[in-house]
Amino acid sequence: MVDAIVIERRFRGPPDSGNGGWTSGALASTLGMPAEVTLRRPPPLDVPLEVRRSGDRAVLLHGGEVVAEAVPDDGELEWPPFVPPEEAAAATERYAGHREHMFPSCFTCGTGRAEGDGLRIFAGPVAGADRLVAAIWVPSAADAGADGLLPAPIVWAALDCPSVWPWLGDGTVALLGRMTARVERTPTAGAPYVVVGQGTGSEGRKRFGAAAIYGPDGTRHAVSRTTWITVGG
């Protein structure tokens, strides 16, 4: 049983805290079942974070304070529609983060990360669609196990930022508050995928989203549901 998680600096979102998707996926993995993860505070980097299990609930702790908690969630998830690879490639060129990025060092979507260092998923607006973004993603072998398969934290990270970019590009800054994800077919390094994100609603400072990873033929591999909290302004 995992009793601690260390979020290496490579897996950061904002400059000094963990990528929300990676952190959520790592904690969810300790439950061994589909889970909903709520982030309570920015996850610290490069320090052991205690994992405490109580029944079907897992809590991530730092200095006695709750960083995140995970509970089982095997309910239905909705997902954005498949976007053909050629449309996703065109959307990548329109990625708002190419013009201005709130966290250019983000593991998932940062433009300041090199190939093989960050995931570099640049989900841009899909032509003719409302609050729908897409990108082409070819996972690096650096993120896979010896069998070529991607571990859950990497898949969750890939499903993270694309779900909020439909709400960004106008100066809005948002941080992940809650995430549920389901991996149906584990992605492999070196294979091309289409990652699609969709804005599904808003309420006050909250922005809701969904994301999916598809094969180029439209086969669905993983889906997520997210809640983001806008900050500043």
Domains 4-72 and 85-231 belong to one CATH topology? yes
Distance, CA of 212 to CA of 130 (rounded, Å): 16
pLDDT value of residue 1: 58
pLDDT value of residue 218: 98
pLDDT value of residue 183: 94
pLDDT value of residue 233: 59
pLDDT value of residue 232: 76
Domain ranges of the chain: 4-72, 85-231
Task: Annotate the chain with DSSP letters as a single string.
Answer: ---EEE--GGGBSSTTSB-HHHHHHHHHHTTTS-EEEEE-SPPPSSSEEEEEEETTEEEEEETTEEEEEEEE--S----PPP--HHHHHHHHHT-GGGT--S-TT-TTT-TTSPBTTB-----EEPTT-SSEEEEEE---GGGS-TTSBPPHHHHHHHTTGGGTGGG-SSS-EEEEEEEEEEESS--BTT--EEEEEEEEEEETTEEEEEEEEE-TTS-EEEEEEEEEEEE--
Q: Encoding tokens for residue 87?
A: 């449309």
Write the CB contacts of 132 (distance below 8 Å, at least 6 apart in sequence): 80, 81, 83, 125, 126, 166, 196, 197, 198, 199
- Assign a CATH topology to domain 4-72: Thiol Ester Dehydrase; Chain A (3.10.129)
Q: Buried (b) or exposed (e) across 166-198, using 16+ Cβ within 10 A?
A: bbbbeeeebbbbbbbbbbeebbbbeeebbbbbb
pLDDT value of residue 34: 86
pLDDT in tens, the chain (233 residues): 579 999 999 999 999 999 999 999 999 999 988 899 999 999 999 999 999 998 899 999 999 999 999 999 877 889 999 999 999 999 999 999 999 999 999 999 999 999 999 999 999 999 999 999 999 999 999 999 999 999 999 999 999 999 999 999 888 999 999 999 999 999 999 999 999 999 999 999 999 999 999 999 999 999 999 999 998 75
* pTM greater than 0.85 (yes/no): yes
CATH architecture of 85-231: Roll (3.10)
